Structure 1
Amino acid sequence: MHSSLPAGPPPIREPFHAPVAHLVRGGAVEGVHYGSVVVLDAAAEVRFELGDIRAACYPRSALKPVQAVAMVRAGLPLEDGLLSLAAASHSGEERHLAGTRRILELAGLTEDHLRNVTDLPFDPVVRDAWVRAGRPPSRLAQNCSGKHAAMLYTAKLNGWSLDGYLDPVHPLQQAIAETVEDLTGQRVATVTVDGCGAPLFSVSLRGLAVAAARLTTAAPGTPEARVADAMRAHPGMASGSRRDVAALMRAVPGLLAKDGFEGVQVAALPDGRAIAVKIADGASRARVPVAAGALALAGVDASLLAEFTGEPLLGGGRPVGEVRLVPALDPEALPARA
């Protein structure tokens, strides 16, 4: 753990978001995406900021790697793909379901012990096939089931209650809160409930980026390094076959990346350079290109990010526009970097 005490909590306020991307159709700006962006250098100093990187925000699933670190610190023995799945917002592919079943089996538990919400698979192709087969929503198919199975396994190993593992005062959730504060370097501002039913802790966007950097720069064999290594080695288990976050980790050597609902993205390089993004309206169509722009500002070669500049805006089935970054974030305005 980090020896310095966490700073005070980030302020709870309406964030001072700024324009980060324009929706351009036929040469005219049709819409504006607001948000906030932070880029940290290898010394964890702010290299670039736009919007409000210091207000409290909910990282949503972008915090899952930190939650996984807390579980490993508490004795979770998972490795490789199963540890990546413990930090996943998975797509509901059969490998994700099989992996979640395996975690439960290792704990001597079943799907009936899960307390996450029921849902259909997140991936639209998998979801359509699921519906055609007449399969109902289930806790196993919901995108957070790997995390919940790992939470149950951690609770079982420590002799903690299984029924109440999602209660904020449960020893597991207290351990997670302590790890969030340790890795972000700041106190949690508020605690609420995430979409899956687990406690959700608010931190600043800067704190989220700091936490990601601490995972990628941790000493080999530490819980932080184990989680980062598992996710980078098995990006498809941390997300899915058709997910942009997996493609991003494959495209940029050594990159750790995690997305979250409501337009959140965090990523960190092996030397500690890190970025975090929050899109105010929660739109993924802006999240991906804005994150790519931030990574270019962090020094990633823009050619590695070419496929993440955003999908074209269609009119009548043909491209008529695009999501265009504000000039400060536009990687095409930057020289290629090593």
Structure 2
Amino acid sequence: MNTTSPADAPVVREPLHAPVAHVIRGGVVEGIHYGSVVVLGADGEVLFQLGDIEAAFYPRSALKPVQAVAMVRAGLPFDGDLLSLAAASHSGEESHLAGVLRMLEPAGLTEGDLRNVPDMPLDPAVRDVWVREGRPPSRLAQNCSGKHAAMLCTARLNGWSLDDYLDPAHPLQQAIAETVEELTGQRVARVTVDGCGAPLFSVSLHGLARAAARIVSAAPGTPEARVAAAMREHAEMASGSARDVAALMRAVPGLLAKDGYEGVQVAALPDGRAIAVKIADGAGRARVPVSAAALARAGVDPALLTAFAGEALLGGGKPVGSVRPVRALDAAASATAA
């Protein structure tokens, strides 16, 4: 465990985002997505940055691998698909729901013990099936149920209270906060409530990238290495069979990747190279191509990233444009590839 004291908390301010992607239709820039990007080398140095990588922000679900590390440190015994699910923003597929029940049942827990917000499945196709079948929102189907099940199991193993496991003062959440500060290398700036009801810790984009790098480069057998292995080997459990994050982990050998609501993406390679992205307006259509360009800037072969170049813009049902990373990010990636 790293015993170095974390640095001061990032400054809470309006982030100084910069253009990171252009919406191009028929050769004309129709729109601009603002955001911030950081690329770290294997030595932890900043290789590339765009926008504001030091302002406090909320990583949302991109912080789940860090939360999972904290729970494994606290005794959570899961590995493989269940540990991947503990760090997941899952799609609500039947394998995800069954996995959450597999987590809960040995601990004598049920869906009724979960304190996340009832919701429909995250994946649109799965959600449509639920609607057609008349199935109501449930805590099990909500995309954070794996994390909440893991939190409950960790609390039970340690003899901690269950009803208030989401209280920031609860021993579980205190342990998670300590791990967030250790792995990001900075103190938490603010604590609020995430969409699922769990505490959410504000760090910087730079700190988020550092945390991912430390997780993937940790020694075998450590909690960090166990989380990284589980997510990489069971990418569909960490997201979903049709999700871009799972596809990205399948496409790039050894890559650990996690998305977060409001346009957040973090990814890291086994040698510690890492990227983190925040799209200011939360647009997923910009998150994917910007993240791919950042990974190319980190040295990933662009040929592995062609499927993540961005969705086409349609006119009359035919492609007439696309969402492209700005020239500064694209040029950096091209230079690295060359």
Shared topology, TM-score over 0.5? yes
| Distance across 2 between alignment mates of 1:109 and 1:185 | 35
Matches within 5 A, 1:53-202: 53-202=53-202
Change (3 A) 1:116 1:331: farther
Q: Secondary structure at the match of 1:287?
A: helix
Q: How far off its partner does 1:8 sit?
A: 0.3
**Which residue of structure 2 lines up, in the alignment, with residue 24 of structure 1?**
24
**Which residue of structure 1 lines up, in the alignment, with residue 206 of structure 2?**
206
**Which residue of structure 1 lines up, in the alignment, with residue 226 of structure 2?**
226
Change (3 A) 1:277 1:336: closer
**When the two structures are aligned, how many residues end up with a matched partner?**
338
Q: Retained in 2: the 8 A contact 1:61–1:258?
A: yes
Q: How far off its partner does 1:332 sit?
A: 9.3
Paired letter, 2:2: H
Q: Retained in 1: the 8 A contact 2:267–2:276?
A: yes
| Distance across 2 between alignment mates of 1:167 and 1:279 | 29
| Distance across 2 between alignment mates of 1:325 and 1:218 | 31
| Distance across 1 between alignment mates of 2:91 and 2:80 | 18
**Which residue of structure 2 lines up, in the alignment, with residue 253 of structure 1?**
253
Change (3 A) 1:173 1:291: same
| Distance across 2 between alignment mates of 1:39 and 1:194 | 26
| Distance across 1 between alignment mates of 2:335 and 2:16 | 30
Aligned: 1:216 with 2:226: no
RMSD of aligned Cα (Å): 1.1
Aligned: 1:327 with 2:327: yes
Q: Secondary structure at the match of 2:259?
A: strand
Q: How far off its partner does 1:336 sit?
A: 7.1
**Which residue of structure 2 lines up, in the alignment, with residue 6 of structure 1?**
6
Q: Retained in 1: the 8 A contact 2:22–2:324?
A: yes
| Distance across 1 between alignment mates of 2:72 and 2:26 | 51
Paired letter, 1:48: F
**Which residue of structure 2 lines up, in the alignment, with residue 40 of structure 1?**
40
Q: Secondary structure at the match of 2:78?
A: coil
| Distance across 2 between alignment mates of 1:303 and 1:58 | 32
| Distance across 2 between alignment mates of 1:186 and 1:336 | 30
Deviations 1:134-192 (A, max 9, x none): 10000000000000000000000000010000000000000000000000000000000
| Distance across 2 between alignment mates of 1:108 and 1:333 | 50
Q: How far off its partner does 1:335 sit?
A: 5.4
Paired letter, 2:243: R
Change (3 A) 1:163 1:329: same
Q: Secondary structure at the match of 2:39?
A: strand
| Distance across 2 between alignment mates of 1:177 and 1:214 | 16
Q: Retained in 1: the 8 A contact 2:235–2:249?
A: yes
| Distance across 1 between alignment mates of 2:331 and 2:65 | 27
Q: Secondary structure at the match of 2:109?
A: coil
Q: Retained in 2: the 8 A contact 1:327–1:333?
A: no
Q: Retained in 2: the 8 A contact 1:293–1:331?
A: no
Aligned: 1:51 with 2:34: no
Paired letter, 1:124: P
| Distance across 2 between alignment mates of 1:232 and 1:280 | 27
Q: How far off its partner does 1:328 sit?
A: 1.5
Structure 1: give runs of 5+ residues left out of the alignment. none
Question: What's the TM-score, normalizing by structure 2?
Answer: 0.99
Q: Retained in 1: the 8 A contact 2:290–2:324?
A: no
Q: Retained in 2: the 8 A contact 1:268–1:275?
A: yes
Paired letter, 1:81: D
Q: How far off its partner does 1:260 sit?
A: 0.1
Paired letter, 2:118: T
Aligned: 1:306 with 2:306: yes
**Which residue of structure 2 lines up, in the alignment, with residue 262 of structure 1?**
262
Q: How far off its partner does 1:244 sit?
A: 0.2
**Which residue of structure 2 lines up, in the alignment, with residue 296 of structure 1?**
296
Deviations 1:204-260 (A, max 9, x none): 000000000001000000000000000000000000000000000000000000000
Q: How far off its partner does 1:330 sit?
A: 1.5
Q: Secondary structure at the match of 2:176?
A: helix
| Distance across 1 between alignment mates of 2:207 and 2:2 | 14
Q: Secondary structure at the match of 1:330?
A: helix
Q: Retained in 2: the 8 A contact 1:212–1:267?
A: yes
Q: How far off its partner does 1:337 sit?
A: 4.0
Q: How far off its partner does 1:107 sit?
A: 1.4
Q: Retained in 2: the 8 A contact 1:82–1:103?
A: yes
Q: How far off its partner does 1:93 sit?
A: 0.2
Q: Retained in 2: the 8 A contact 1:296–1:331?
A: no
